[in-house]
Amino acid sequence: MSNFLSLTHVFNSKYKDLSVKILAFVFITTLACILLTKPFARVSEALLVLSSLFTFLLNKEQIKPIYKASKNFYFTLILFFTLSTLVGLYHFGLSKDLVFQLKKMRWVLYAITILPALVYTKTYIDSDVKLQKRLTTGLHILYYISIFIIFEVLSKQYLNFSFFEENPKFHMFKGRASWTYNPNTFSRISLFFSFLFILTSTFERSKLHKYLALILSALFFYITLISYSRALWLGLAVAAFLLLLKLISYNKKSFLLFLTLFLGATIFFFSSTKNLKRLKSIQNTTQFSIQHRLQLWRANIGYIKSSPFVGIGYGENKKKKRLLNSFDEDFKTKYKRLGSFLITSPHNEYLDVAASFGLPVLFLFIFFLFKVLIYYFKCSSINHKHLQHLLALLFLSTFAIAICFDSIGYDNWIILLIALLPMLYNKHKSLLQKK
């Protein structure tokens, strides 16, 4: 009997280790798929969910402390999901509309299930040198994929050439490629990889790969800038301000150096007539994209006023049309050509949450985001030990501003969840050290 139990323990232990290793490689694959193509990103989502659940089920005892270390974080997420689901039940009952809402809100469930499994995987990797070397190889493959993607984007921008399109259309990245995301979405992904490769460069032992990671980071950041996303520009300005605050407390010389470089780079970038014209267009209310957003926001404020506590339901286009008819004639006639757009996403994540689920859920969403940013601001530092917290702070603060002018799709939620990993890992590590 004892031999049987011993064999069972060894068998289970092997499967536990295997599940963690699979998840580690699936995670690297997911990063590559997010960077490569939208269809592949969908497949990688399914693989990430399945491998995370596999790891979660086999390592429940080891993952439980991760929930304990970040109990306030998970309590807020569970409360957010519960309230939004109850609002969905109130509006739709048990219908396909509720299923649609749950499908769009699945990022919360991912945060509750995938993130703890990834935190445990990171803890496991720290103690396995062989696995670290294998994952480093996977990371290097990600670098080479990045080279190809950067070449594709820049060749579209400056050479009007694409590997995938015969006649690339000129639109921001001079081409809205069918094989990948629209430029707005890709600009956020490129910013994520810019920060990610700064972090990975600190882990590289080879000088070649260290410099390659830094060069790729700089190129991804450049691509983010030439996306001409005004929302991202504003977000980056806020991130730069936060970085200045951290530098003041760290080293005055570093602060002055960064301030000089930042001002110089800003003046150089906006010395381009095209870039400056794009920035000035923010105040041009006759431009379609600005006019579009102003009316979307006005419409959604109307939706919120009509039902401030429970919203009008997620993606409720019929109710939006009915409410639009109750607005004043000037609104309906002057912007008649925007009618089809007024029932789409409001291009403001905060208004979208408030209009869909009500003000209580919006306050909870803002509270969640604020708490995460405050944590990263307190923990972040310029040194290698806390660099990941600083990069997460810069990335999430950029997003917090950018989503005032746009909405978050699935692809952005995945990278946002990844940006939460340093916080959860650090809390789990602190709990283990206390024991």
> What pLDDT score was predicted for residue 169?
45
> What pLDDT score was predicted for residue 7?
37
Mind listing the pLDDT tens digit for each residue in 168-219?
443 444 443 334 456 677 788 888 999 999 889 888 888 889 999 989 998 9
223 within domain boundaries = no
> What pLDDT score was predicted for residue 355?
86
Bigger pLDDT: 46 vs 370:
370
> What pLDDT score was predicted for residue 177?
39
Bigger pLDDT: 6 vs 93:
93
Residue 164 has pLDDT above 80, yes or no: no
Q: For residue 296, what are the domain limits?
A: 288-343
Mind listing the pLDDT tens digit for each residue in 330-349?
555 555 555 555 556 778 88
Residue 327 has pLDDT above 60, yes or no: no
314 within domain boundaries = yes
Residue 43 has pLDDT above 70, yes or no: yes
66 within domain boundaries = no
Range of weakest confidence among 35-44, 92-101, 195-204: 35-44
Q: Which of 80-89, 247-256, 367-376 has the highest mean pLDDT?
A: 367-376
380 within domain boundaries = no
| Confidence band of 311 (pLDDT split at 50, 70, 90) | confident
Q: CA nearest 355: which of 410, 302, 291, 409?
A: 302
200: its two tokens: 């990975």
Range of weakest confidence among 309-323, 389-403, 417-431: 309-323
337 within domain boundaries = yes
Mind listing the pLDDT tens digit for each residue in 225-252?
887 778 888 888 888 888 888 877 766 6
Residue 150 has pLDDT above 60, yes or no: yes
Residue 376 has pLDDT above 80, yes or no: yes
**Mean pLDDT score of the chain, rounded to an integer?**
77
What is the amino acid identity at position 100? F
Mind listing the pLDDT tens digit for each residue in 151-162?
888 887 777 666
Number of domains in the chain: 1
Residue 36 has pLDDT above 80, yes or no: no
433 within domain boundaries = no
336 within domain boundaries = yes
Residue 3 has pLDDT above 50, yes or no: no
427: its two tokens: 């809390």
298: its two tokens: 């006005």
Q: How large a percentage of the chain has pLDDT more than 70?
A: 76
**Contact residues for 303 (Cβ-Cβ < 8 A; gap 6+):** 311, 312, 319, 320, 323, 355
Contact between residue 153 and residue 223 where contact means Cβ atoms under 8 Å apart? yes
Average pLDDT over residues 7-22: 66
> What pLDDT score was predicted for residue 4?
37
> What pLDDT score was predicted for residue 216?
92
> What pLDDT score was predicted for residue 340?
52
**Contact residues for 256 (Cβ-Cβ < 8 A; gap 6+):** none
Average pLDDT over residues 128-139: 84
| Confidence band of 11 (pLDDT split at 50, 70, 90) | very low
304 within domain boundaries = yes
Q: Terminus-to-terminus CA distance in the chain, angstroms?
A: 34
> What pLDDT score was predicted for residue 172?
41
